[in-house]
Structure 1
């Protein structure tokens, strides 16, 4: 009897602490979704009732507290328009970003028309917390609808526009934007470029927010606050960064770093055939993958030919994530597969090198696995990530648009044969793991903190309530300049008066002497 009462109390207390959480991740990209999935899993295992809008459902029957609304159909627009355009786009970066923003709106609009999402919009459900992907701020309106706190979360370090929305200080030179490929000491021309780029990207971000506002009002109603107002009341911003891989940046308490391999899962055995192939790679193997967004089958033909010629001259087995059934002119030492368990491939003892596009999740995985890299960036933050890794000494990089066989082959052999690259990545592994708690533990703790306190208004940045001219000290400088000018003018008048007075005295004395 006593035992039954004890377990009853435990269940009651656990249920009393449980919350209803709505998680919304609209981007149809597995590299985005994989960052959020461990959070949904952990929150549901802790007894919270979690509902997610996602393009990549976990579909784990053991997660009985997790309800998933499947938006996988959004991949049609993502793969057929956005990713193909990125590989073939010839215009400047700003035009490409604007096109990217408008196509994201198309994806969101289609998702909002999903019958299950429409049912959620029209429901009288109650939620204690809404967590959204910060790149899609229109979804923040769900927090207004359900009158609950809001957490924004991003799968990268977070661009300057998001930091500005939550009141975290930004600086185009000290803390360049995540897509800018410089984070160490910059030259004057690079500093000018960063300032101009940050300004132009802020204009693009403002344009994007205006479209997000229109989308929000279309589906939620015209009486909703603006995107800037809703996001300005965000309780927390979770950024997928850490202090080892990313540049040190001051963060207000409402910005929480959850990076450092939060998405990593426990090791699993490789498929039998693949394991046998890698075990038999006597000279070791190279793993080549361009991630989940860039498809190797879609890269320019001249680039593919150069890659194949390079691989054919290497003494190593090459494992290539290639999304087609056949690879024309495939060398004997090259193995292709449409899908590969990347984390477990990187853990294999025979791996020598990872040729990567430089996505943040791939960068985390290679560092945690102690594998050096040759980077081949394509878009977004990839160039910046590869630049960081090269600067930190864990590899080298090539440009896919100007790829040459001799240069590519030379860099591959240099990274494999020179032990300094693997030694350096192992040093970073030790630093990354020497942390008081993991990024995911921080994410869970702060999520439940927001739930317990019904928000985090007490951690709101004072920068949000300060006019821009005060933040830039323009009023202070104006007063000081006025005081200086007034003092200088007064001193000038006084000197002028004294000069004339003395001159008059001297003239009178001279007249008397005559």
Structure 2
């Protein structure tokens, strides 16, 4: 009887279990953290999860089933690429200069993923999946995996709403107050900024349609036998999960298929390792935490900038905890403590933490808002300038440009943040906004993934904009027709007036002759 009951429970549980494939091929740890948080959460709910990424999960969930397909060699390539790019030097270059180089790199990385031995085994296998979740990051050809496995497609954007996502689901993007994500503008743009914003948007759109999409179409044809057209792939997403929330990002329009799940990676704070716990507990003047994230390495900072930081920190009475990737830091002041890795979320949760000096990555921005900690952002690349602008706009911190860092400027910013209570007040208030949710972000994401699985997609959430050509969407055909009609009416009026004036002049001349 007991065996029968256990078997029945197993069968019942199996009916609610789905096979889920997640594609998160980026070598950046921050991208993996987000994808891994979602897929582990789905596995904990009893689903059978397969995750394709360069990483290996060291603590697989106890419930459900979790399997890694590891893109071996990707982490080494990522680290090499970061060093070669020298992101501190790239900070000087404009986004428009970097855009074509970045696009070409992403096409290459997309092919590298599809061509990987482990990915090829998956593509040519007999496996079945109920849904395919693909990270949205200029990797359009990889979305053909949903077609390959005859499963609904879900996109996961590691950023909030942006032009890369909006184009694919017909979401409006009013350029008057929504800047391109990588420009770092606020919603209140000047005339010149709006001009740059329009030009950048048009350049991004043109690059996609005339280079990116054709190149990805070639990849689909190369790696998927009888593969679909790129245009049947990119507009096929049932929903898009966005790493955003109104407490973190500026409010923008959303179509129904866009779901906010910003903060799904944030965990309940844990007790720190003993040595770190004692250090923070005993910091009577408080603690400043400094980290440039997982991609930017503090150890690669130019000597000049590193010395400015050391000189500035040495003048502070607070304890400074610095994520430093080398064993030693030459010239380190006594109040500065270094570590190659730190449990950032748990550090930010400590009551003695007064300030977070950050690169302004979205995960770090989310975590500082979650814990209500004032921040000083030093943005370098990607969406960091936009996030830094948001930190300033929310009143929870300040920002300083990398090229603007001097001892005087940096000390001034830090002192403002430590002495003005409004920053802490605003940070706590913003944290309240973040926490005031009906459902947690992870549970929200899981619900919508299961929703798509239950209904075999979500075509009823698809907006009609996706069925329009670009000139129809922007009403260019209507504008041309109206302009032509207006010109025709003006021409007729002009002709009538001219004819009337001509007749009047003739009559006037005849009258003068007769007199």
TM-score where L is the length of structure 2: 0.92
1:46 counterpart = 2:53: no
**Corresponding residue of 1:87:** 88
**Corresponding residue of 1:68:** 68
> CA shift at 1:497, angstroms?
5.1
* Cα gap change, 1:104 to 1:483, in 2 (>3 Å): closer
> Is the 8 Å Cα contact of residues 28 and 72 (structure 1) preserved in structure 2?
no
SS of 1:235's equivalent in the other structure is: strand
**Corresponding residue of 1:188:** 191
> CA shift at 1:230, angstroms?
0.1
**Corresponding residue of 1:220:** 224
> Is the 8 Å Cα contact of residues 319 and 334 (structure 1) preserved in structure 2?
yes
Q: 1:101-140 to 2 correspondence within 5 Å?
A: 101-135=103-137, 136-140=139-143
> Is the 8 Å Cα contact of residues 359 and 378 (structure 2) preserved in structure 1?
yes
Q: Which deviates the most, 101-110 or 44-53?
A: 101-110
Tell me the C-alpha RMSD between the 2 structures.
Answer: 2.4
**Corresponding residue of 1:470:** 472
Deviations 1:274-300 (A, max 9, x none): 111111111011000000110100111
TM-score where L is the length of structure 1: 0.93
> Is the 8 Å Cα contact of residues 74 and 110 (structure 1) preserved in structure 2?
no
Deviations 1:46-69 (A, max 9, x none): 222111102233332424411111
How far apart in 1 are the matches of 2:350 and 2:510? 102
SS of 1:213's equivalent in the other structure is: helix
> Is the 8 Å Cα contact of residues 46 and 63 (structure 2) preserved in structure 1?
no
Q: 1:158-307 to 2 correspondence within 5 Å?
A: 158-206=161-209, 207-221=211-225, 223-259=226-262, 261-307=263-309
> CA shift at 1:17, angstroms?
2.4
SS of 1:179's equivalent in the other structure is: helix
SS of 1:53's equivalent in the other structure is: strand
Task: Please point out which of 353, 363, 373 is paired with 1:351.
Answer: 353
Deviations 1:73-127 (A, max 9, x none): 3111111113541233365433433333333444444443443322111111111
* Cα gap change, 1:491 to 1:153, in 2 (>3 Å): same
Q: Which deviates the most, 290-299 or 81-90?
A: 81-90
How far apart in 2 are the matches of 1:83 and 1:228? 35
> Is the 8 Å Cα contact of residues 132 and 151 (structure 1) preserved in structure 2?
yes
How far apart in 2 are the matches of 1:403 and 1:72? 38
Q: 1:353-432 to 2 correspondence within 5 Å?
A: 353-432=355-434
SS of 1:263's equivalent in the other structure is: coil
> CA shift at 1:187, angstroms?
0.8
Q: When the two structures are aligned, how many residues end up with a matched partner?
A: 510
1:37 counterpart = 2:36: yes
Deviations 1:343-398 (A, max 9, x none): 00000011110000000000000011110011111100001101110121111111
